[in-house]
Every structure is written in structure tokens, then in C-alpha cells.
Amino acid sequence: MTSNENSFQYDSFLQGRHIRLLIVEPPDKRSTLLKVTLWRRILTEQNLTLCHTSRAIKTTSAFRALLVDAVYINQNCDSEKTQRVRMMRDIYCAATSTIIWLRSLERGDVEGIRLAELVYGKCQKDDYRYDEDSFRYNDFNCEARGVPDVMEGQDMSPSWKALFNILTHCWFSRIWIVQKLLVSQKPLTWRGDKSMNTDVMLWMAKQIGGKGGLVRSLRMIYDSPTFHSRAISLCRYRYEESNPHQIWITISNTIGMEATDIRDRYFALAGISTGPPSGFVNYSRTLEQIACQVG
């Protein structure tokens, strides 16, 4: 493979259990794509830049090779895409860690992360179980829990605003992340080089999304009423409680999430759903054919 800032050229077609790993050599950030057979210890990443990838390797020296979404698959080869996408569940199950990078740290982010950790730590988890029937949660009394109120007079608390900003990041609108978060052994969420507890952030999204007052406050800041991180958190809780659902249920739970190729609205969910037959993922088929089969 040869590479520059904007393009990659792939020297061969991936077959069998082969995958491409990005080898990054700090401190000069030289990178090479290496074709290997899938094994049980890989580090996967989503949406990292090369600069931050190098920083990750410095801080986690046990890992020298990463599977990078943006360069792992030759997107111009339908045959390779078909075979590799069919393997994605196995890849993320095999990964020791999956890095989720939500872009650079912004002003106030640290306070937002601390707020999420504070709320999570002060709540008794049994008080906030997800009710499949009613979609309701117990009221959350900030004052009684010793947590900053959402509003400070007429304005929103800076720490709550920062937390909302993180939880409404565009990364949460991408359909492929659902499978990553459901089957990865250890998802690691970073904002810049600040680590966040993925369980805490998804738990907060679930709580905020279930409370009308907090959602209304959220809509005061953001134009879009869609709170995708909450949908993802519910998918994860349901998956852990009852294992894979039928694919039509999974599709319904992720309405509004996006994919560059609209067929991935189906393919990205096949690995975490029941119903799709063997060979369902096939990029030589049209959207109409795929939708009709699911229907």
C-alpha cells in the first residue's frame, strides 16, 4: 500500500480471515498497512486522526497495531467490502479494546465529564432500571442528590451544557457504532486525550433521554430533537438483557441514524440481529432488493 494525506492504494484483495492493520511507529508517526490473519489481540479504532493514534500508542505501549475503519477496507471494491463486513462482528468481538475518539477537547468538556461521573456515582443504580413497558424513569432530584441543577436562573448550567454537547456529538448518529458498542469487549471513549468511561456516558444518555424536562432543556440549545446517544444506550441495555432481537426491531430502535451507503442501515445491524440469512450482506445487491428481503 502507498498513502498520502488524501488517498490510499491497496496492493491486493483481502481473502479468508485476513485483515489490514495500521502499524504506527512513534515518535515520527510513520505508518504502514500490514495484512495479517485475524487473531485474538487487536486494538480497533473509530474516527481517530493519525496524530491521536500515535498518542494512543504512546500511552498504551502494549499495542502497536490498530485496525482503522477508514483504511481497513478498500471501499471501491464491492467484493472485498462484502467479505469484510460479514466479518465485522468477529473483529470487534476479538478486539481487546475499541477506541472511540469524539474529536478534540473543547472548553468546558472536563466539567461535563466530571458531572457525568458525579451523577453516576451518587445514584443508586436500582432506582434507574429501564422499564420496557412504560418508557418512564424515577424523578431525579438534583438538590437531594448533591448534583448541580440543570438550570442556573434563566441559563443552563455550564457543566450540563458541556455534557449535552458531548452526548449529542455527531458520532452518535452513525449506524455502524451500534454494533461496535454492543459487541466490543472494552470500548474506550476519548475526548481529545481525555478518557471517559463509556458505561457512564451511555448511562447518562439513557437517564437524560427518559426525562422530559432535561430533553426540553437540551432542545433549548440544539436545533435537532434527536438524541441518538440515548437510542444507542437503549440498544445496548436491551442487547445485554435479552440478546439479539429480530432485525426489524433493531432497525426501528435506530431510526434516524445515518450511513454513507444507505444499504448499511441494514448491513450494520445484521451482526447484532436475528433473521438475516447467511449471505445477507452483499454489496452487489440493490437497496430495493435488500429492503424487500427484510420486509
What digits encode the pLDDT tens for the residues 29-50?
666 777 777 755 555 655 444 4
Q: List, in sequence order, the alpha helices (H) in the chain.
A: 50-59, 69-72, 78-86, 88-94, 109-122, 142-145, 158-167, 176-183, 198-209, 212-221, 228-242, 247-253, 264-270, 287-294
What integer pLDDT is reported at residue 110 of this predicted model? Answer: 93
What integer pLDDT is reported at residue 19 of this predicted model? Answer: 79
Instruction: Please list the ranges in the chain whose pLDDT falls under 70.
Output: 1-9, 11, 24-31, 39-64, 124-142, 210-226
71 and 188 together in one domain: no
Contact 161, 246 (CB under 8 A): no
What integer pLDDT is reported at residue 138 of this predicted model? Answer: 45
What letter would DSSP give residue 153? T
Domain count, the chain: 2
Length of the chain as a residue count? 295
d(CA 161, CA 89): 35
Q: Which residue, chain included where needed, has cell 487487536?
A: 42
Residue 265 placed within a domain: no
233 and 114 together in one domain: yes
Residue 261 placed within a domain: no
d(CA 211, CA 56): 36
Strands 245-246 and 273-274 turn out to be parallel
What integer pLDDT is reported at residue 54 of this predicted model? Answer: 40
Residue 151 placed within a domain: yes
93 and 156 together in one domain: no
Enumerate residues 6+ apart whose C-beta is below 8 A from 122: 145, 146, 147
54 and 121 together in one domain: no
Q: Which of 176, 173, 180, 184 is nearest to 268 (CA)?
A: 176
Give the domain extent around 7. 1-101
34 and 123 together in one domain: no
Residue 217 placed within a domain: yes
Q: What is the grid cell recorded at 265? A: 442501515
192 and 172 together in one domain: yes
Of 101, 128, 154, the position where a domain reaches its end is 101
Of 83, 101, 119, the position where a domain reaches its end is 101
200 and 113 together in one domain: yes
What integer pLDDT is reported at residue 273 of this predicted model? Answer: 92
Contact 125, 178 (CB under 8 A): no
Q: Which residue, chain included where needed, has cell 437540551?
A: 218
185 and 146 together in one domain: yes
75 and 145 together in one domain: no
91 and 176 together in one domain: no
Integer angstrom CA distances of residue 149 from 86, 156, 229: 46, 9, 21
Residue 272 placed within a domain: no
95 and 113 together in one domain: no
Enumerate residues 6+ apart whose C-beta is below 8 A from 174: 257, 258, 259
114 and 214 together in one domain: yes
Q: Please, what is the end-to-end C-alpha distance for the chain in angstroms?
A: 41
Of 84, 101, 118, the position where a domain reaches its end is 101
